[in-house]
Amino acid sequence: MDCRIRMKTIIKAVRPPPTGEEAKALEEQDVEDTVARTGLYILRNAGGRAQEALRSIIVSQNLLHTTDIHVVHHLGCGMANNSEEGLRETLLRELAPSEDDMVTRSITMHQLAQYQFLPIRSDICIHRAADSVFNDMELLRNHPLIKRGTNIRGWLYENIHLDPRQHSMRPVEGIPRSSSGPAPNCIEDMCERKHSGQDCRPCHANCPSPR
């Protein structure tokens, strides 16, 4: 299938769930129907992290004979710009407000400690948002239960909060990692703040200097 057509199919499949009657109709569709309609086995989770999806990916490879894995993170994600500890503190405040008794808070803290919440990197600059995609791709390529020779690609889903006709997918292979040194072009060209019409100077202090 032509790459552009395939990406349109992926965008349609991973687009945020609609509301109202259309959402109700989608709730009644199972995974097999999604595969039949799109040819894609879609795994969703908070932040789009591969580690959380590993069990399903392994099952998909061995029972559905999956040969290609596409890791898709979207810009403007609510999981961005958080640390593991920061997410735990936020969840603790939501699940056990300070006025709750100490026993309840202690139990909640213990339960939260059983999970890794896997926050993603800052999504302000595109090259930083891509880091989490690169990390997930490396996890899959090096995992002993992921079949050798699997085609693993990474994408950033852009403009997700705009009109669906403006949604697009950017391959991460052309984006430099923030840890690999300066970006090849002017950093401003890769700043999501600038793309959305905002002042991108506040994030320059955290960006590699342009060559």
- Binding-site members for Zn(2+) are 74, 77
Rounded distance between C-alpha atoms, residue 154 and residue 18, angstroms: 25
Q: How distant, in Å, are the alpha carbons of 69, 107, 150, 175 from that of 28?
A: 26, 36, 31, 38
Burial of 92 (0-12, 13-18, 19+ CB in 10 A): middle
Q: Is the dihedral of CA 195, 200, 206, 211 positive or negative?
A: positive
Query: Residue 15 carries which side chain, given as an amino acid letter?
Result: R
For residue 131 the two structure tokens come to 């880091």
Give the distance, in angstroms, between the CA of residue 197 and the centroid of all CA atoms in the same chain: 23
